[in-house]
Amino acid sequence: MKLYGIPNCDTVKKARAWLAEAGLEYAWHDYKKQGVDRALLQGWIGQRGWEVLVNKSGTTWRKLDDDSKAAVHDAESAIALMLSQPSVIKRPVLEHDGKILVGFNPNDYAAFLK
């Protein structure tokens, strides 16, 4: 199991606390320090779609100019943005048994990890 995100994100902190409280071990991947690669993003998009992965309600998205926002219209343009600005990826992403869960909800985590 692997958790992707950035350490100062409140939602990531909640997910990490939930996993710790449940006694579940996981590998941690910090987008800002370790980045992400195209193949990983393509796999995630194949499972969930690019629209789920691009966090349009976050600070990084809001700081983009209108032309940059308008340029994100398909998987390839979303990947380009996520590679250049990993903080725009919705977080956390939990990877387990080849599947991913995006965002954090305690009930969703419990069901996903059964």
Q: For 98-110, what is each residue's pLDDT tens digit?
A: 999 999 999 999 9
The answer to whether residues 69 and 41 touch, using CB atoms and an 8 Å cutoff, is: no
- The ranges assigned to domains in the chain are 2-112
Assign 13 to helix, strand or coil: helix
pLDDT score of 114 more than 90: no
- Residues 51-76: tens digit of each pLDDT: 999 999 999 999 999 999 999 999 99
Calculate what percentage of the chain has a pLDDT beyond 70. 100
Q: Which residues are catalytic?
A: 9
> Mind spelling out the 3-state secondary structure of 19-56?
HHHCCCCCEEEEHHHHCCCHHHHHHHHHHHCHHHHECC
Instruction: For residue 23, count other CB atoms closer than 10 A to its CB.
Output: 6
Of the CATH numbers 3.40.30.10, 3.40.50.10860, 3.40.50.720, 3.30.1700.10, which one belongs to the domain with range 2-112?
Answer: 3.40.30.10
Confidence of residue 32 (pLDDT cuts 50, 70, 90): confident
Report d(CA 59, CA 29) in Å as an integer: 20
